[in-house]
Amino acid sequence: MTDVFISYSRKDKAFVQVLNQALEESKYDAWIDWENIPLTADWWEEIKAGIEAADTFIFVLSPDSIASKVCGQEIDHAVKHHKRLVPIVHREGFDVSLVRPALGKANWLFFKEDTNFDTAFHSLVKTLNTDLAHVKEHTRALLKALEWQKKDRSEDLLLRGRELLWAERWSEEAVAYHKQPLMTALQSEFIAASAALHDQNLQREAQRRRLKGWLQTGTAITVLLGMGISGALSLRNGQRAVNDVASQLRRELSGRIEDNIIQQIRLPNLINQINADAVRRGELTTQSLASENYLWQQMQYLDAVSWMYYASAADGSLVGISRTPEGNLQAAINDTTSDFSRYYYDLDNQGQRAALDRVNQVAYDARARTWFLAAVEADEPIWTNPYIDSGRGELNFSAATPVYDADGDLLGVTALDYSFNDLSTFLETLEIGKTGEAFIMDSAGFLIATSTGEALYRVIENNEFDRIAATNSEDNLTRAIAQIIDQRLDLATFTDQVQLNAVIDGEAQFVQVSRFAEQPGIDWLIVVVVPEADFLEDIDRNSRTTLLLMVLATGLTIFTVVVAYQLSEKSA
């Protein structure tokens, strides 16, 4: 994959060389055909591949490129695959009516001889960086879809697992927000075919399980009719089935929990990215009533967010919207004009300042705060260690994203504080056997969420709060399993998942531990515990049924023999 493909007339080669040098100095990779060679099948296939693999298609407008047949074929191929188009005017003097309609709809950038090159190039870089994540995903999906099409739409090339999950979410966002460039029909078919294959595999798996159930039932009947030895085999197979079902149940539950976490952490990151784009456009600043209203509008629909804010790297000032324990929204402002004291304003139902509520005289320079420093140091979206929101009674995490301008200079950090309360609620809804449990703890051993409903922190002296370690949980099963994990696993090297068997208070337990570390600051262990007794109850009931059937079969055999004997006697 490349950043740009440049289509041009050979008479504009000197300008394109200057443009390419500027792109290389700005760390952009460009695909350019420098050779004036005859149009052959192999050469044209290489040109098409270059266009398909580029995130952006740059067309240098000049009288010669407009008249060029090859340039026309290149732009047609780019339009066919919905590439992002950036027309650049280098030399005028052409008939505008001859310009391809797709180029006419795009915003033109002017790089004429009387134009300041640096100013024009800055506009080009800004265009290339617009919605870059969507554009790159568009290119990746296109290349995979084209490869699938070339290989006769082989199922082996379809998306699977997490790759399919992200592709479906990307396509949903692209359609919902009308993101440019639009998806191609081939991309839609490719993702739909991948989803259909996934559904077929799930159906096959379900059919396989049903068939397995029927086979096990048939086997059980055969065993029952086989008297003593067959009965013993039935019990042994039943125990094996318990282990298989318990193993499968643990894996499925862990997968569902992981999917729920992915969905929850994705929203804060998306909001921060949207706000970062607003900062780059100049719509979100630290000293603007319009910026307060911008954040207020977002907070209307985000109950899990207690704070949303942006801090400037220039002077450490901050603008934010906070949610009070009563659920009301306030604007929070601090900057150099007040020596970084924070002013809290009540807001009316239009998001406008109604009255000053209070002033916190403690200086707050955002640049010295952990969330700001961590985001800048990581140079990517991060999550900080959680803190207790005493007013709302929630365990909150700060998600922060650094914001850079087109030149790579730091503008500031967008952030929000997010509660994972819904995660515990989700765990409580899971059917984990009959008496099983699930909990999530961080790499330091502190509880993040639990299906038992217990609190994640306790109040200690001076109205301070203390997070609860899983090994100190009030729930006996949670505490015991956490202690076993601490003893058996080296968390410094453990990266994937493992299934354990343990005995707690004389009861056997099936345990699965899975590590979830998708982003900096998110390093959690997902733990699912299923007591063996939840399954043995069925085994014991089946054993009694087996014995009853054996007795009935024996009685039926005796009865048949007696009747046959009596009939034979009468015949005689």
The Cα 425–Cα 435 span in angstroms is: 17
Residues 6+ apart with CB under 8 A from 261: 423, 440, 516, 518, 524, 526
- What gap in Å lies between CA 5 and CA 49, rounded to an integer? 10
Measured from the Cβ of residue 67, the count of other Cβ atoms closer than 10 Å reads 13
CATH number of 273-419: 3.30.450.20
The residue assigned the tokens 């800055």 is 122
Residues recorded for the chain: 572
* Rounded Cα gap, residues 504 and 534, in angstroms: 14
Residues near 430 by beta carbon (within 8 Å), at least 6 away in sequence: 253, 256, 257, 438, 451
Architecture per CATH, domain 2-130, reads as: 3-Layer(aba) Sandwich (3.40)
Identify whether the C-beta of residue 342 lies closer than 8 Å to the C-beta of residue 287.
no
> CA-based angle 136:139:145, to the nearest 5?
140
Give CA separation, 263 vs 178, 259, 420, 515, in Å.
21, 6, 11, 17
- Domain 2-130 matches domain 422-531 at the CATH topology level: no
Q: Where are the domains of the chain?
A: 2-130, 273-419, 422-531
Give backbone dihedrals phi and psi of 40, rounded to 5 degrees, phi first. Answer: -120, 170
Report the predicted TM-score, pTM, of the whole model to 2 decimal places: 0.53
* CATH code for the structural domain at 422-531: 3.30.450.20
Query: Per-residue confidence of the chain (572 residues) as pLDDT tens digits?
Result: 899 999 999 999 999 999 999 999 999 999 998 865 556 668 888 999 999 999 999 999 999 999 999 999 999 999 999 999 999 998 988 888 889 888 888 889 999 888 899 999 999 999 999 888 898 999 898 898 898 988 899 989 888 888 888 888 888 888 888 888 888 888 889 889 888 998 888 888 878 887 776 775 565 456 445 656 655 555 566 556 667 777 888 889 999 999 999 888 888 999 999 999 999 999 999 989 999 999 999 999 888 899 999 999 999 999 999 999 888 999 999 998 888 999 999 999 999 999 999 999 999 999 999 999 999 999 999 999 888 876 677 888 999 999 999 999 999 999 999 988 888 899 999 988 888 999 999 988 999 999 998 988 887 776 677 889 999 999 999 999 999 999 998 888 888 889 999 999 889 999 999 999 878 888 999 999 999 888 776 666 666 676 676 677 677 767 765 665 565 556 55
